[in-house]
Copies of this chain bind each other. A is one copy, B any other.
Amino acid sequence: MNNTLNEDIKIIKDAKITSPKGYMAVGIHSGIKKVKKDLAIIYSKEPALCSAVYTTNVVKAPPLLWCQSLTDNNEKIQAIVINSGNANACTGDRGYNDALTMAKTAACALGIDEKSVMVTSTGVIGAYLPIDKIKAGIKKAANELSNDDKSANDCADAIMTTDTFSKKVTVEIYIKGEKVTISGIAKGSGMIHPNMATMLNFITTDANITKEMLDKAFKSTIDDSFNMITVDGETSTNDMAVILANKMANNPVIEKTDDEFEKFKNALFYVTKKLAKDIVKDGEGASKFMECTVKNVSDKNKGRVLVKAVLNSNLVKTALFGQDANWGRILSAMGASGAIFNPNLVQIKFKSASGEILMYEKGLPVEFDENFALKVLSEKDIQILIDMNEGNSEVTGWGCDLTYDYVKINAEYRS
């Protein structure tokens, strides 16, 4: 995956989930939360192709099971209903019926098939949805769908839980002369009573693309973006990412892995990577943002294992918080990852806006200037650069430090 921004991709400053042609959105307060917006709908005038990935957690929330039944059957999707404040997880048959009720209510209100309505929830687990409030809310929201700026912003706000900022991105590319737009919104790893880190990502595009190519592009960008971030190494019962493609850009169909496909994939990767990095930057209690790159590794899967081991290590994360150039913890985390490698070939560097510093090379520590190391690590954005010297693959992932505030947020939210 190309990490550098392709000049063909235009970043739209005023990002809106409704920027691609044919989409409308809405975000309202339905009464699940006390005051804040808690219910959103994303709607496509035309039934859209849909590609989605779901949590790998064995414990899956009922709304995910509903969505999976739709995507397993390649249903075209016209609406996504999202509520925040209650995850409808660990709620058994009643939870599944509630998810189905949400789909049916939206289908009626919008005059579409219930099998074209995805439903997602995020928030408290182990509590039943206030389904009457939600039904009323869906009817109200359906009437307020719009493609104006306010509705798009309300939608992005309504899916948040403890996120401190809304995450949104819009890009434009040209496919054989036709403008194609891709937008995304996300909610991140903010956790809520009783606390699960749920990641939700919704992407809209007006691209004309085959289902096969949409799946291929989405899968590949997901692997290098949402699947390469970590706040505390755990997957939630409700994690999902979904893309809708409604073909309304009228570009000649993208149907094989040609240059146009690559252009689309790169633009989509920009969107997913931007959302992924924003999720990490909003990680609970995080004070530093950490980018870890493993280069010259023998294969990408091994690189992913190594990058995640470093990003997930509590010892690396606390060292980063303490601004300590502790390469030993990085090497040890790599060694404990299960990946097989020769430590004598490895090189480890830290890098930030203040400079780059070599810590470890050829099996031996490198003497370094402690003051310069502290300067490099005092920045907010830190890169960990690992050279395996054994192959040609490269993998990058993103994480954050482990702070007092992480412990505070996750231990004391009841007090």
Give the interface of A toward B (CB within 8 A): 56-60, 89-92, 125-127, 191, 194-197, 232-237, 313-315, 318-319, 321-322, 324, 326-329, 331-337, 339-341, 343-344, 360, 362-365, 402-404, 406-408, 410-415
- With contacts A90-B363, A234-B332, A403-B407 known, what are 9 further pairs, Cβ within 8 A? A58-B337, A59-B331, A59-B334, A60-B335, A91-B364, A92-B363, A126-B328, A126-B360, A194-B329
Instruction: Name the residue on B nearest A312 (C-beta).
Output: B233
A196, A344, A365 interface centre (most CB from chain B within 10 Å): A365
Determine how close the nearest CB of chain B comes to the CB of A193; give it in whole angstroms: 9
Is there an interface contact between B360 and A90, defined as CB atoms closer than 8 Å?
yes
Determine how close the nearest CB of chain B comes to the CB of A148; give it in whole angstroms: 38
Q: Contacts of A329 on B, CB cut-off 8 Å?
A: 194-196
- Complex-state Cα separation, A365 to B88, whole angstroms: 12
Instruction: Name the residue on B nearest A235 (C-beta).
Output: B336
Instruction: Name the residue on B nearest A414 (C-beta).
Output: B324
A89, A328, A364 interface centre (most CB from chain B within 10 Å): A328
Q: A126-B360, A407-B321 are in contact. Are A90 and B343 (CB under 8 A)?
A: yes
Q: Contacts of A196 on B, CB cut-off 8 Å?
A: 315, 328-329, 332
**Candidates B92, B127, B343, B407; contact of A407 at CB < 8 Å:** B407
Is there an interface contact between A324 and B194, defined as CB atoms closer than 8 Å?
yes
Q: Contacts of A60 on B, CB cut-off 8 Å?
A: 335
Is there an interface contact between A58 and B341, defined as CB atoms closer than 8 Å?
yes
- Complex-state Cα separation, A373 to B220, whole angstroms: 45
Is there an interface contact between B195 and A314, defined as CB atoms closer than 8 Å?
no
- Complex-state Cα separation, A57 to B89, whole angstroms: 37
Is there an interface contact between B195 and A343, defined as CB atoms closer than 8 Å?
no
- Complex-state Cα separation, A90 to B365, whole angstroms: 7
Q: Contacts of A237 on B, CB cut-off 8 Å?
A: 332, 335
Determine how close the nearest CB of chain B comes to the CB of A287; give it in whole angstroms: 10
Q: Contacts of A322 on B, CB cut-off 8 Å?
A: 410-415
Determine how close the nearest CB of chain B comes to the CB of A297; give it in whole angstroms: 14
- Complex-state Cα separation, A196 to B403, whole angstroms: 19
Is there an interface contact between B125 and A59, defined as CB atoms closer than 8 Å?
no
The 6 closest A-B pairs by CB, nearest first: A322-B411, A59-B335, A318-B410, A126-B365, A57-B335, A58-B335
Instruction: Name the residue on B nearest A321 (C-beta).
Output: B411
Determine how close the nearest CB of chain B comes to the CB of A377; give it in whole angstroms: 11
Enumerate 26 A-B pairs (CB-CB under 8 Å) in ascending A order. A57-B335, A58-B340, A58-B343, A59-B335, A59-B343, A90-B331, A90-B360, A92-B344, A92-B362, A125-B332, A126-B328, A126-B364, A126-B365, A191-B315, A195-B319, A196-B328, A196-B332, A235-B332, A235-B336, A237-B332, A237-B335, A314-B406, A314-B410, A318-B407, A319-B411, A321-B411
Q: Contacts of A328 on B, CB cut-off 8 Å?
A: 89-90, 125-126, 194-196
Is there an interface contact between B407 and A334, defined as CB atoms closer than 8 Å?
no
Is there an interface contact between B315 and A314, defined as CB atoms closer than 8 Å?
no
Is there an interface contact between A315 and B234, defined as CB atoms closer than 8 Å?
yes
